[in-house]
Amino acid sequence: MDALHLAAFRKRRHWLIMRAIKSCETDARQYRGFHVGCAVLGWDKTHGYRMFSAGNRKPENHAKRECAERRALEKAKIAGIARVIAIVVYGPNQDDDFTRIHRSVLHPCGFCRRIASLHLDDGGPIYKDTIYVGVSTEGALEQLTYQDIMEIHGVPTLPQLITKRVAQDGCTVVHALSELQSLDPWRMLDFRNTSGLDEKTLEEAWTEWLADFEVKQPTRLDPL
């Protein structure tokens, strides 16, 4: 990362953490009480460095899940941010929703990793050296890059994401596709060409997901 960007992050790290904590306490709405706050440090040539923050949203079980990172990134996108320097997340810890890997702090979920992966090699605004800082409600702190996170967890496939969404909330596949696209602030997920997401592919992914997570419930597959 450019030395100026790195210096700007170090200067603002404390305030980013404070904003993430405040967003967790005042902006998060989650029916299980799993509240998460996020603060994003972005940069563009016109305005320089700016911070954006948000809490997660899922007010009821079948409502659309809006991660704190994605809500904060949406604000950054609307403001015209060209590069995301750092993302700071504060909240309770839990195992990764796909890999079940346990870390001392909360890492980006599979949905957020999938979206971020599309930006890493395609001109940003999230890059491999974008900094991720996780802070747990228990006081643990971990600082990595998005490259580190991808190496730890990998990136779920689209069929895996879709079948997980269907399994969790009982929605249709078409609804899951539409929701995934709407959750990407920079709209890099494009489902107009769904030739690789036929019922056979989804059925195989569903079977794999069931084997991995030992969840037994009926499939609901819609023709695309």
Residue-wise DSSP of 73-125: HHHHHHTT-SEEEEEEEEE-----TTT----SSPPPPHHHHHHHHHHHTTT-S
> Average pLDDT in the 126-154 region?
95
Query: Looking at residue 119, what is its pLDDT?
Result: 77
Q: Which amino acid is at 187?
A: R
Q: 139 and 62, same structural domain?
A: yes
Tally of structural domains, the chain = 2
| Domain termination residue (choose one: 153, 173, 200) | 153
Q: Contact at 8 Å (CB) between 109 and 103?
A: no
Q: Is the pLDDT of residue 19 over 70?
A: yes
Who has greater pLDDT, 143 or 182?
143
Q: 102 and 184, same structural domain?
A: no
Query: Looking at residue 219, what is its pLDDT?
Result: 38
Which tokens go with 6? Answer: 């790195």
d(CA 192, CA 210): 27
End-to-end Cα spacing for the chain: 42
Q: Is the pLDDT of residue 206 over 70?
A: no
Query: Looking at residue 195, what is its pLDDT?
Result: 44
Q: Is the pLDDT of residue 218 over 50?
A: no
Report the predicted TM-score, pTM, of the whole model to 2 decimal places.
Answer: 0.80
d(CA 148, CA 175): 32
| Domain termination residue (choose one: 137, 153, 169) | 153
Q: 142 and 49, same structural domain?
A: yes
Q: What residues contact 54, with CB distance under 8 A and at least 6 apart?
A: 23, 27, 37, 38, 68, 71, 72, 74, 75
Q: Contact at 8 Å (CB) between 86 and 9?
A: yes
User: HSE-up of 137 (CA within 13 Å, CB side)?
Assistant: 12
Q: What residues contact 207, with CB distance under 8 A and at least 6 apart?
A: none
Which tokens go with 194? Answer: 């769904």
Q: Is the pLDDT of residue 118 over 90?
A: no
- Please report which confidence band the pLDDT of residue 115 belongs to, taking 50, 70 and 90 as the band edges: confident
> Average pLDDT in the 155-177 region?
73
3 state DSSP class of 29 = strand
Extract the runs of DSSP E, i.e. beta strands, from the chain.
29-30, 37-44, 48-55, 57-58, 83-91, 131-136, 141-145
Q: Contact at 8 Å (CB) between 27 and 37?
A: yes
Query: Looking at residue 156, what is its pLDDT?
Result: 84
Question: What is the Rg, in whole angstroms, of the alpha carbon atoms belonging to the chain?
Answer: 17
Query: Looking at residue 198, what is its pLDDT?
Result: 63
Who has greater pLDDT, 137 or 214?
137
Q: What residues contact 219, with CB distance under 8 A and at least 6 apart?
A: 163, 166, 203, 206
Q: 163 and 148, same structural domain?
A: no
Q: 96 and 41, same structural domain?
A: yes
Who has greater pLDDT, 166 or 150?
150
> Average pLDDT in the 79-87 region?
95
Q: 127 and 41, same structural domain?
A: yes
Query: Looking at residue 64, what is its pLDDT?
Result: 75
- Please report which confidence band the pLDDT of residue 92 belongs to, taking 50, 70 and 90 as the band edges: very high
